[in-house]
A and B are shown apart, each in its own frame.
Chain A
Amino acid sequence: MSVANFASWLDATSVSLALKNNFWAVPTLQSIHILAVCLVFTSAVIVFLRAWNLVGTDWTAERWARRLYPPHWWALLVLLVTGIFQVLAEPMRELPNPAFQIKMVCVLIAVPLALWIARQFYSGRDDAATRLPTRSASIVMVALWFVIIFAGRWIAYASA
């Protein structure tokens, strides 16, 4: 089954129709999605700044990990759930869309990378959080989230 056929099948489901027929559904889902993005993106930026010792050096890296990562994982779950519902609401707009596909590839890279960075920060050793591999990974993390946000917004324009 091709992506387009799968999208077409999803588009005809009762869930999809219900979401499409409710004017508030998509903007509400998008608003919750964006709020979760705020949390995840800000965490990525603070982790990057802390890895480079530019901000928050009052706390150890482990302390920052305990502060930032639990809500970060919950926010990723919210992004997954609201994302699935947004795809269900407009599968023809999302699934065959190159911007959506690029976004998903970036997310698939970003999540394991976040897990790896989190392990360095949770290690209890500040040198693990501030050594070059972690610092480099933190830059990639911020860049990935920038691309994810970019691609996410571009979905509307790529499908127009």
Chain B
Amino acid sequence: MIMGWAEWLEETPLAYFIQGDLYAFPLLEVLHVVSIALVVGTIFIVDLRLLNWCSKSYQVTRLLRAMLPLTLGAFGFAAVTGFLMFSSQPTRYLETPVFLLKMGLLLLAAVNMAIFHVWTQRGIAQWDTEGAVPLSARTAGLISMVLWVAILVAGRFVGFLL
């Protein structure tokens, strides 16, 4: 079913334009890299705080409030540019294992983030002021950093293995 949708997407005017235009794909790729740089950078700032390695005097809630809009905005941009790049050759991307790995890792990162925001963050008012970051939050931070490094590396390898 997904392949059928991909084959349909590949025949759309949008796909033809991105495939055929000299600058469309390169421009999308550049914008994708810029937005990913901001996503990963802001996520790492929060994750390092959750691990209690950096910014220890900055409350997690305040740091999240400062960084989250940047992360979400940049991620939105990365998602749009990523989808547009994908739409140029969807069947080929779906047949590339490292691309599927990247999508799987993104899903895991989203699940990790959801668990943190829905579950771990519930008690944040207590542990944020006491200084001791609970194991669940530190684990979320470490998993997030590992996943995002893997996502970035997988993304780079897509270009070589497509």
Contacts and interface: CB of A to CB of B under 8 A. Distances in A.
Interface of A: 26-27, 30-31, 34-35, 37-39, 41-43, 45-46, 49, 55-56, 58-59, 63, 67, 146, 149-150, 153-154, 157
Contact of A38 (B44, B62, B70, B153): B44
A88 to B, nearest CB: 18
Contact of B45 (A30, A35, A42, A154): A42
Contacts of B37: 34, 37-38, 41-42, 149
Interface of B: 26, 29-30, 33-34, 36-38, 40-42, 44-45, 54-55, 57-59, 62, 66, 70, 149, 152-153, 156-157, 159-160
28 contacts: A27-B159, A30-B156, A31-B157, A34-B33, A34-B156, A38-B37, A38-B44, A38-B152, A39-B41, A41-B38, A41-B41, A42-B37, A42-B38, A42-B42, A42-B44, A42-B45, A45-B41, A49-B70, A58-B58, A58-B59, A58-B62, A59-B58, A63-B57, A67-B54, A67-B55, A149-B30, A153-B33, A157-B26
User: Dominant SS at the A interface?
Assistant: helix
B152 A35 contact: yes
A35 B34 CA distance: 12
CB-based closest 7 A-B pairs = A42-B41, A38-B40, A38-B41, A41-B37, A38-B37, A31-B153, A153-B30
A156 to B, nearest CB: 8
